[in-house]
Amino acid sequence: MTAGHYGVVRRRIEAFYPDQIVVDLKDESLVRHELSGLGIKAELTESSKGLGLNLYGLVGVAEAVTRLGPNLEQRVRARAAGGYEPGEAPTPLDLLLFHLRETSAQKHAGYQPIVAKNRVYENIEGSPYSGGSAGDPKPAAAFELPARSDGPRRRPRIGVFDTPMYPHEGLAGRYVIDSPRALLSPRPEWVSFSGHAVFVASVAARQAPDADFVVYPVLDAERLVTTSWTLATRLVQSLDDDLDLMIIALGSAAADGREPLTLARACERTSGVVKVAALGNHGQAKERAPAGAVFSDLPSNIPMWPAASSTVIAVGAKDKDGLPAYFSPTPEEAPWTDCLAPGVDLPGLYLPGVVRMADLHVPSGKVVVSDRRATFPHPGHATWSGSSFAAAYTAGYLAHQAYTQGIDAGEAADRLLSGQGVVKLDGFADSGIEVVRPRRN
């Protein structure tokens, strides 16, 4: 299998760069020695002390693995039973990683170096995507966010790891940016997903009017993608920003169903920050879907990372009847779900002007701008559906509880997740947050 658009290998379940690896600092000498022996050139691209990992670009992988013996692919397939769909074959990088681990285990009494792929992560509303006209943002009546209080308590800080932010006047004074590129510049017309970050932040702000937001533009506003390396390094770098919570409305699946190394390391090293992530929009309740809904090719029982991580609160979307939204995996399909929150037709701040609706063509990773469009009156308000917004709703609730009760976000999360049933809160969604997997201390 060769790399496709943007140099990315895309399978049904996963996407990654075929010429990049991530290596634990402790295993750097071992891995570099093995690569050199195979005639593979390894070029250090980036280093992260916060993660304890290095990112390398590789040259010569395809040629090298042809010299590793005729049975390598069979051994890889045997070890990864069920990991390859019909018609899929291990890439040279898959063969190389298997060889590195196998060789080390033979030489060092079972020891395997910590080495992994640099994976592609995508916006949950992009891929997997329940799209079509049913999943588009729609113009909505204008509203104002609840007023902020003048209390003496420190305001909770919520990190939004998403697209760049549209500087909506309704959110003015409630957010800061990590760099100039975190803000979108004005343009005559927009692509629909460019309004994702401001919508996410506003949904959380309706629950937590006293919260401050820090915007981390990890996703390209047009392509909706990032890498596991970029996401993980920004997560650990955000420790300098004194965050209380993180909203992570993006994710990726892995063919082996295991938590990817780079993201697992980042989640582990940000354990003091409450992380809330979108479960994914790859549910398959087609009998309850509106006309025009487009469903993901992913099975609904595939874990999306980081939501499936034990260190993260996984939030699925529920509809106004209190049922899992047609696009959201059910708790039975995704037993790593912690709670369900309103995620259908939520109101939020959005882009003003003409917006062209876009879909992600999953096999190629290309955003396709459709002929669907809508005009959003200034300053921009919309309703939108997705598990991203359910995650934002939950993070906002936790921030509000922390602020009003004088507790930290971790304790607020513990109180929510140690309970059971429905927590009702605001005036625009009656169904509230439903805890489906109580966590017992």
Contact 239, 188 (CB under 8 A): no
Structure tokens at 138: 């729609």
Structure tokens at 52: 């304890």
User: Which class for 274: exposed (0-12), middle (13-18), buried (19 or more C-beta within 10 A)?
Assistant: buried
Contact 202, 171 (CB under 8 A): yes
Structure tokens at 400: 């509000």
The residues that bridge with 117 in the sheet, in sequence order, are 21
Of the candidates 34, 108, 31, the residue with the CA atom closest to the CA atom of residue 68: 34
| pLDDT band per the 50, 70, 90 thresholds, residue 428 | very low
Contact 39, 60 (CB under 8 A): yes
Separation between Cα atoms, residue 126 and residue 112, nearest integer Å: 35
Residue 129: per-residue pLDDT: 45
Contact 188, 250 (CB under 8 A): no
Given a cut of 50, whether residue 127 has pLDDT beyond it is: no
Given a cut of 80, whether residue 426 has pLDDT beyond it is: no
Greatest extent of the chain over all pairs of C-alpha atoms, in Å = 70
Strand boundaries in 266-384, DSSP class E: 274-278, 313-318, 339-342, 346-349, 353-361, 366-376, 381-384
CA distances from 36 to 24, 108, 412 (A): 17, 19, 51
pLDDT per residue over 376-396, tens digit each? 999 999 999 999 999 999 999
Average pLDDT on 204-228 reads 90
Which domains are seen in the chain, by residue range?
Answer: 5-113 (no CATH), 123-435 (3.40.50.200)
Count of CB atoms situated within 10 Å of the CB of 90: 21
Separation between Cα atoms, residue 135 and residue 289, nearest integer Å: 10
Residue 362: per-residue pLDDT: 60
Given a cut of 80, whether residue 126 has pLDDT beyond it is: no
How many Å separate Cα 438 from the centre of its chain?
23
Given a cut of 60, whether residue 400 has pLDDT beyond it is: yes
Average pLDDT on 118-147 reads 78
Count of CB atoms situated within 10 Å of the CB of 144: 7
Residue 1: per-residue pLDDT: 46
pLDDT per residue over 339-361, tens digit each? 999 999 999 999 999 999 987 66
What 3-state class would DSSP assign to 370?
strand
pLDDT per residue over 25-51, tens digit each? 999 999 999 999 999 999 999 999 999
Of the candidates 308, 232, 314, the residue with the CA atom closest to the CA atom of residue 269: 232
Share of the chain above pLDDT 90, in %: 66
pLDDT per residue over 239-285, tens digit each? 999 999 999 998 888 888 889 999 999 999 999 999 999 999 988 88
Separation between Cα atoms, residue 174 and residue 341, nearest integer Å: 23
pLDDT per residue over 162-201, tens digit each? 999 999 999 999 999 988 889 999 888 999 989 999 999 9
pLDDT per residue over 13-24, tens digit each? 888 999 999 999
Residue 427: per-residue pLDDT: 43
pTM over 0.85: yes
Contact 203, 396 (CB under 8 A): yes
